[in-house]
Chains A and B, each alone.
Chain A
Amino acid sequence: MIRGGRSYVTSPPSFSNDAKRLLVCTGNTVSVFSAATGLQITSLEGHTAPVTTLIVVPASSPAQKILCYCWTASLDGTIRHWDFSGPELLKTIDAQLPIYSMVIPSLLSEPQQIDKRCELSGKLVAFVSVEDISVVNEGSKELRGHIRRFNLAKPRVPRGDTLKETAEPESIVISPSGEFFGIRHKCKIHIWDVPSGGSRHAVSRKMTLHHTKVINAFAFHPTERVIAAGDVTGRVLIWRGFGNRKLALGNQKKKVRATVDLDNAGVRGEDDTESCTTWHWHSAEVNVLNFSSDGAYLYSGGREGVLVVWQLDTGKKKFLPRIGSPLLYFMWSPDPTLSSVVCADNQIHLLKMPSMEILRTISGIKAPPSLPRMYEGLASTVAFDRSSGIAALCTENYCVQLYNLLNDRGISEIQVCERNHQPGDEITVVVTAVALSLDGSVMSTTEVKLPEDGIGGLVSLKFWACEPDSKTFTLSTIVYEPHRDAGVSAIAFHPTRSMAVSTSFGGDFKIWVCNSDKNQTDKDSSWICHAVGSYKKKPMTAAAFSGDGTVLAVAAETVITLWNPDKNILLSVLGATLTPITKLCFAGKSEFLVAASHFPRPELSVWNTSKLSISWSYGLRVEAVTSAVDSSAFAVLAVIPKSFKTDKSKENIFRGRDGAILLFNGSDPKPVSIWTVIKAKGGSISFLEGDKSQLRLAYVNGSREYVVFDPNSDESHERSAVDYDGLAGLEETGDAGYTSLYGQLPDYDKKRMEDVDSLATPFISSERPWETIFSGSTLNFPPLQKLCAEFFESLMEKRTAVVE
């Protein structure tokens, strides 16, 4: 079982002391990447919930640079101390409350002080931001977020002192010198100083800075008393000399300035600062603020994806533009020539510092694109290369990302539309679908240019040829408006030959063939239209080739039409489902055809193409269908209906999971096995057939986390190892789970379909409906509208292929 696709950007990464390694929080683990190659070296495993904070113990002397210790805090309520060169877990402290943020000021203080303190008290004080739900239940105010002080030297922490209570757990920011720390809270920044005495009861003093806008991020200057804060409107505020009165240095209290009327430029109200200046360059919210290690520069970034470097004294700016995604964190490393910037699209860019060039990128799986309303549920933004285990994923920035599911790393990105993505702009161009041929040598994409005021819309279909040595794709053919102005609903590839079919809502489908066979030269190969077909001008919604490629099934709304793809002859029509079909798939090389439909009544039906009749059907909403090449097994990803989830008795079965993968074998309506999954909406599944002839099933969920597992082997031993993973827990429930899901099934008569708890549809064969239509119970009669159409259709002469 392989798990991956976790987000690299949930919390800020951290460089090791020698700047050769980068530690990244990835879900429940901490991954260690090499800064030189961008590849993962090792990972720290042990937390049972997502890791929220990562603190590398800084080296106080050059000799200590090889030391590799770090502290982590997690939502599972533990704080752990690691040696990440090993990797080895040194210590676990149970805080009992989910920790959202943690700072350890004494690590940052001067080394001699640390030694002194450790000698004196043997104490390591940490300030943590926790979520205390127990208080909420008791108290009336919903202040769940608490800032507390813990002593990490003790193995078990009882309740620490609470410094502040907030509605939500806030993240704590500490000054690089370790003197101050603070949190932002709406329009305010609360700052405490770290009691220097080291005694347990020394109370840290607090001050507050006010602003009129919600503050998004702030940072402390490494040496001076300067704070920079960024708000939602894009302003950067610099407060200089904060806390001269309230947080005076040491105990030598200065004379309190009684004269508040001193002209402190830009300072709001009674705030304890000398001056406040505002810089405004960002057009949207500021997410990233960080001072350079010497304090001469300030780095800021935000939604527009531009890293700005401000010279602190003069306010002059330098830019790293066109990063293409909102920035989340900026970290400088102990090596002055290296720093990293973390983007919202799951990429960590390592920057060469003074020149700010992007050296290399640690690329996680990218988030799915946000599609306009009309394409929701219809787009297929994930495609799989079955042999190599590579997934092609549409991304927000008009690219297709090739991601190796087996190694969990990004391979390359292919620019589908020649456009630059600017985060925050209105979406005008969408890559709606990507498809890969069975051998992975051809990729096809469709993109839609949305019209402005009804003009200038454009649909285009592109075919890409694989470059075998570099594993990227080059553009081979562009087809503008493949189906006039109608959108492309599905693309399917022929299993053996270079042939593809695209279907459209405009009522026709086109078969495309590659003419490279004649020319021999790969460069000139191009795709041309081989045939056009339509069936009663109905919108074509899905298509699939049979396992041997001799039959092409195209769904024309509610009926399935079977074609000979070479001669473009309509072979037969499979009778009507109740709702338009959205997915079609042949079950391997068998004669069974799986059809799935969504709206308004979801349905999963299996058709026998040799008997031209339905075998069985369920009332399940199916997100994805896949079938094995050799066997007749197929798997569907179904969304569990709401009625099941809200049922109290079944709550512990699902535990917040909203989908299930059902594995079927051929015509058998009983699933072989069932796994429940989360975030099934927008998910995708596929069988992977590696060289080892091992059949594996890959599941990518709606937020692009994935799991690859063997559907046939019992992986219960591994389940225990991964069950803690709250992100995408899987459970092998088998048949027991099935019966608990849907109740005991009545006995099946496979020849004739009975109604299964109103899940199945009435059975209508399109060829000779009158012989069978009245054979069931009278309660199962189709509605009159349905009958009428069938009746008239049976009277009329059946038309064969429409040739245009």
Chain B
Amino acid sequence: MEEELRVRLNDHQVSKVFPVKPKSTAKPVSKSETPESRYWSSFKNHSIPNLVSSVSALAFSPVHPHSLAVAHSATVSLFSSHSLSSSRRFSFRDVVSSVCFRSDGALFAACDLSGVVQVFDIKERMALRTLRSHSAPARFVKYPFQDKLHLVSGGDDGVVKYWDVAGATVISDLLGHKDYVRCGDCSPVNDSMLVTGSYDHTVKVWDTRVDKSKWIAEINHGLPVEDVVYLPSGGMIATAGGNSVKVWDLIGGGKMVCSMESHNKTVTSLCVGRMESAETRLVSVALDGYMKVFDYGRAKVTYSMRFPAPLMSLGLSPDGSTRVIGGSNGMVFAGKKKLRVVVGEKKTLSLWSVRSQVDETRRRALRPTYFRYFQRGQSEKPSEEDYLVKEKKGLKLTRHDKLLKKFRHKEALVSVLEEKKPANVVAVMEELVARRKLMKCVSNMEEGELGMLLGFLQRYCTVQRYSGLLMGLTKKVLETRAEDIKGKNEFTGLLRNLKREVNQEIRIQQSLLEIQGVIAPLMRIAGRS
């Protein structure tokens, strides 16, 4: 205690220099930066413009290098997911509604609004197979999880078809939907399980092994279903319809686990995203232009991002490096992440260099008896037992601080006005008020400086944070320097703008008062009850 007290008394300093600081502003209570948001905002923007019309479907190849198929208008374009450059185009007779890669990534299937499902080799221009059976526009096509020989498709005729691709024949028609079938997904754990969603508000679960064309389970979303996905466990599905996204437990008998209703318009597409920590999130896009990341484990929206167009489709590459979103204006909002391959390489390197490192530490051990000990340079790192003498941090003084220190008040005000940082200007003005020198500064200003001050006042006097000081100051400046301002051409524009700003502010205040008048009785009633 005694010792410590002495130390403190010793560094007693009577008086210090305090630089003029702007008032600190309120910080948000919640942290803006969470690991989650950092992950989702770290996709670097690469837009693919100039696609003709609305991007109706996106699909990533399940195998490396995860090439991307984009369905827009009557075309499917293949992009490489690394450079996001177009590599190949496939044309259709009608607007393509859905596209899907086979599990080995060698083939993809696509369906169009003429009701035709076509299968392409990604390296060849012509279709390998053309499957015709739908009597209305086909809306979705899916390869089962590992199965390379079959396809599932559905369409506006309300029929879900299970195809044998090689023979181009329908194995079974799955009947049951009473309205357009718009979406479907195949189970990620079982080749024969699939779900389909329809505009009759229901999602039906099918098993292709049961040949009675009867669904094995049904859940009711309550709204026309726009998209349905299996969650990675295969026991849960997520459905999108209307403004809501719902998560259902299939194994538990089709019970709803949670729902997310933070979109303002129809949710168009869902996708399962995998984070770095191997956690999965449900990502949804909607016509309101928002992409939302939903943590269905905690039933919480963890990230939200806005795009400048209604969003139609969504795709996340299986390695998590690319995120693509298709807009209704033909824009593909792609985002790419830097992959951390380098880390792995380094690790392998260090495995080999263990020996050399040991050598190095032995070499580097320095003793005061060595000659090298005295040749250490500035970059020498302190060892553990070294006592670090901390250098006193010098105080950084800005130009106006130095001028204020010399009591050159007007010059300080002018120099800070030149800086164009309103918070600093207001801080200097407050300091001048505390020194009782602000009005003197104003009355001493020359014409050009006065113009600068008026320009500043015109721009910022109605800003809420500064208006308490600046409104009064504006009035004082106009009063004290009236004869200098009057009749000068260079000031007329400024004065006109100032007047307009003030009038606008008065209007805003009036309308706010009106709103308050409306709200106050309501609040009172609420308080009473």
Interface of A toward B, CB cutoff 8 Å: 37-39, 322-324, 349, 358-361, 397, 411-412, 415, 418-421, 426, 428-429, 449, 451-456, 458, 470, 478, 480-481, 485, 515, 526, 528, 800-804
Q: Are A453 and B8 in contact (CB under 8 A)?
A: no
Listed from nearest, the 7 A-B pairs whose CB atoms lie closest are A456-B433, A455-B472, A322-B15, A418-B18, A452-B433, A428-B434, A360-B9
CA distance A449 to B430 in the complex (A): 9
**Chain B residues near A453 (CB-CB < 8 A):** 439, 476
Q: Which residue on chain A has the smallest CB distance to residue B469?
A: A456
CA distance A206 to B439 in the complex (A): 55
CA distance A480 to B426 in the complex (A): 14
CA distance A358 to B13 in the complex (A): 7
Which of B429, B476, B523 has a CB less than 8 Å from the CB of A803? B523
Q: Are B436 and A428 in contact (CB under 8 A)?
A: yes
Q: Are B434 and A358 in contact (CB under 8 A)?
A: no
For the A-B complex, the count of residue pairs with Cβ-Cβ distances under 8 Å equals 88
CB of B171 within 8 Å of the partner chain = no
Binary CB contact string for chain B from 502 to 529 against chain A (1 if under 8 A, 0 otherwise): 0000000000000000000001001110
User: Can you spell out 14 A-B residue pairs with CB atoms less than 8 angstroms apart?
Assistant: A322-B15, A323-B15, A358-B12, A359-B10, A360-B9, A397-B15, A415-B16, A420-B18, A428-B435, A453-B476, A455-B433, A456-B433, A458-B468, A515-B29
Main DSSP-derived SS at the B contact region: helix
CA distance A386 to B8 in the complex (A): 23
Binary CB contact string for chain B from 152 to 175 against chain A (1 if under 8 A, 0 otherwise): 000000000000000000000000
Which of B16, B433, B526 has a CB less than 8 Å from the CB of A420? B16
Which of A38, A421, A470, A480 has a CB less than 8 Å from the CB of B23? A480
Which of A323, A480, A800 has a CB less than 8 Å from the CB of B527? A800
**Chain A residues near B8 (CB-CB < 8 A):** 412, 470
CB of B438 within 8 Å of the partner chain = yes
Which of A349, A421, A455, A801 has a CB less than 8 Å from the CB of B438? A455
Q: Which residue on chain A has the smallest CB distance to residue B17?
A: A420
Which of B29, B429, B472, B526 has a CB less than 8 Å from the CB of A528? B29
Closest CB in chain B relative to A276 CB, distance in Å: 32
**Chain A residues near B430 (CB-CB < 8 A):** 449, 456, 458
Q: Are A323 and B472 in contact (CB under 8 A)?
A: no
Q: Are A420 and B15 in contact (CB under 8 A)?
A: yes
Q: Are A360 and B12 in contact (CB under 8 A)?
A: yes
Closest CB in chain B relative to A343 CB, distance in Å: 9
CA distance A804 to B524 in the complex (A): 9
CA distance A455 to B21 in the complex (A): 19
Q: Are B527 and A485 in contact (CB under 8 A)?
A: no
Q: Are A419 and B18 in contact (CB under 8 A)?
A: yes
- Given A428-B435, A456-B472, A361 and B9 touching (CB < 8 A)? yes
CA distance A426 to B436 in the complex (A): 8
Q: Are A358 and B439 in contact (CB under 8 A)?
A: no
Most interface-central of B10, B14, B433, B472 (chain A CB within 10 A): B14
Closest CB in chain A relative to B328 CB, distance in Å: 42
CA distance A456 to B468 in the complex (A): 7
Q: Are A322 and B9 in contact (CB under 8 A)?
A: no
CB of B390 within 8 Å of the partner chain = no
Binary CB contact string for chain B from 1 to 25 against chain A (1 if under 8 A, 0 otherwise): 0101110111011111110010110
**Chain A residues near B2 (CB-CB < 8 A):** 37, 39
Q: Which residue on chain A has the smallest CB distance to residue B520?
A: A804
**Chain A residues near B257 (CB-CB < 8 A):** none
Q: Are B476 and A455 in contact (CB under 8 A)?
A: yes
**Chain A residues near B433 (CB-CB < 8 A):** 428, 449, 451-452, 455-456
Q: Which residue on chain B has the smallest CB distance to residue A478?
A: B24
**Chain A residues near B435 (CB-CB < 8 A):** 428
**Chain A residues near B193 (CB-CB < 8 A):** none
Closest CB in chain A relative to B500 CB, distance in Å: 22
**Chain B residues near A456 (CB-CB < 8 A):** 429-430, 433-434, 438, 469, 472-473
Binary CB contact string for chain B from 428 to 457 against chain A (1 if under 8 A, 0 otherwise): 011001111011000000000000000000
Q: Which residue on chain A has the smallest CB distance to residue B11?
A: A360
Q: A419-B434, A428-B433, A803-B527 are in contact. List 16 more A-B contacts (CB 8 A).
A: A37-B6, A37-B9, A418-B21, A428-B435, A429-B434, A449-B430, A452-B439, A455-B438, A456-B430, A456-B434, A456-B473, A485-B468, A526-B27, A800-B527, A803-B526, A804-B523
**Chain B residues near A800 (CB-CB < 8 A):** 527-528
**Chain B residues near A397 (CB-CB < 8 A):** 15
CA distance A415 to B18 in the complex (A): 11
**Chain A residues near B21 (CB-CB < 8 A):** 418
**Chain B residues near A361 (CB-CB < 8 A):** 9, 12, 14
Q: Which residue on chain B has the smallest CB distance to residue A455?
A: B472
CA distance A135 to B50 in the complex (A): 111
**Chain B residues near A428 (CB-CB < 8 A):** 433-436
- Given A453-B439, A455-B469, A323 and B14 touching (CB < 8 A)? yes
Which of B15, B17, B528 has a CB less than 8 Å from the CB of A324? B15
Closest CB in chain B relative to A425 CB, distance in Å: 8
CA distance A211 to B430 in the complex (A): 44
Q: Which residue on chain A has the smallest CB distance to residue B21?
A: A418
Q: Are A449 and B523 in contact (CB under 8 A)?
A: no
Q: Which residue on chain B has the smallest CB distance to residue A321?
A: B15
CA distance A324 to B10 in the complex (A): 18
Q: Which residue on chain A has the smallest CB distance to residue B15?
A: A322
Tell me which residues from 218 to 274 in chain B have a Cβ below 8 Å from any Cβ of chain A: none
**Chain A residues near B468 (CB-CB < 8 A):** 458, 481, 485
**Chain A residues near B14 (CB-CB < 8 A):** 322-324, 349, 358, 361
Most interface-central of B13, B433, B526 (chain A CB within 10 A): B433
Closest CB in chain B relative to A750 CB, distance in Å: 38
Closest CB in chain B relative to A205 CB, distance in Å: 44
Q: Which residue on chain B has the smallest CB distance to residue A803?
A: B527
**Chain B residues near A526 (CB-CB < 8 A):** 27
CA distance A456 to B429 in the complex (A): 8
- Given A361-B9, A454-B472, A800-B528, A449 and B434 touching (CB < 8 A)? yes
**Chain B residues near A38 (CB-CB < 8 A):** 6, 9
**Chain B residues near A358 (CB-CB < 8 A):** 12-14
Tell me which residues from 369 to 405 in chain B have a Cβ below 8 Å from any Cβ of chain A: none
Which of A322, A360, A415 has a CB less than 8 Å from the CB of B10? A360
CA distance A319 to B438 in the complex (A): 29
Q: Which residue on chain A has the smallest CB distance to residue B18?
A: A418
CA distance A426 to B435 in the complex (A): 8
Q: Which residue on chain A has the smallest CB distance to residue B10?
A: A360
CA distance A790 to B310 in the complex (A): 64
CA distance A87 to B434 in the complex (A): 50
Q: Are B434 and A801 in contact (CB under 8 A)?
A: no
Most interface-central of B15, B17, B430 (chain A CB within 10 A): B15
**Chain A residues near B4 (CB-CB < 8 A):** 470
**Chain A residues near B18 (CB-CB < 8 A):** 418-420
Closest CB in chain B relative to A519 CB, distance in Å: 9
Q: Which residue on chain B has the smallest CB distance to residue A325?
A: B14
CA distance A39 to B138 in the complex (A): 93
CA distance A322 to B15 in the complex (A): 6
Closest CB in chain B relative to A530 CB, distance in Å: 12
Closest CB in chain B relative to A375 CB, distance in Å: 17
